[in-house]
Amino acid sequence: MNVQIQKIEKMIYQIRGQKVMLDNDLADLYGVETKYLNRQVKRNIERFPSEFMFKLTKHEVDCLRCQFVTFKSSVAGRKYLPYVFTEFGVAMLSGVLNSNQAINCNIAIIKAFIKLRKILANDESIYDKISSLEKGTNQVFKIIFERLDDIEEIITPKLSPHRRKIGLKN
């Protein structure tokens, strides 16, 4: 089961600020064809608002194709732009696809999303700690540079304003 969760984690992409899965990856996991999955979704479209599912733009597909090798193979040879499903959309799919494999797979996918959310929560707390350390060190460096400027003023001899200037006279 742990291996399957790791496999699923590799199928989760960050698009438009959301963690999503491609329709064809989900179809593979559920053991159905992509066109069957999409047909079932279209028949029950009222269950899938834009927060649950959306269609990628051509630009997004091109960007993902450049970034991920696995993405290239998953959308190769498609006529239509792929749909992607958020965690809530994946949960809703279990009600649309009525099979034991779909239900078991859904449980594993939800566990993968939960695991990623926990990892991100830890990352955010680490980020907060680093930010506070950064603010503290910035203040310390500011004080150090002020002291160095003070020392430089003391050490550097002051030039008299009435001194003879060097250079060409106009």
Domain 2-124: CATH class, spelled out: alpha beta
Count of beta carbons in the 10 Å neighbourhood of residue 84: 23
Nearest of 100, 11, 86, 83 to residue 40 by alpha carbon: 83
**What tokens does 83 get?**
């749909």
**What tokens does 151 get?**
């020392």
21, 85 contact by CB (below 8 A): yes
Q: With cut-offs at 50, 70 and 90, classify the pLDDT of residue 42.
A: very high
What integer pLDDT is reported at residue 83 of this predicted model? 92
pLDDT per residue over 71-93, tens digit each? Answer: 555 565 677 889 999 988 888 88
**What percent of the chain lies above the pLDDT cut of 90?**
12
On whether the pTM is more than 0.85, the answer is no
Measured in whole angstroms, the distance separating CA 63 from the mean position of its chain's CA atoms is 14
Distance between CA 136 and CA 130 in Å, rounded?
Answer: 10
**What tokens does 42 get?**
């279209």
Distance between CA 127 and CA 146 in Å, rounded?
Answer: 28
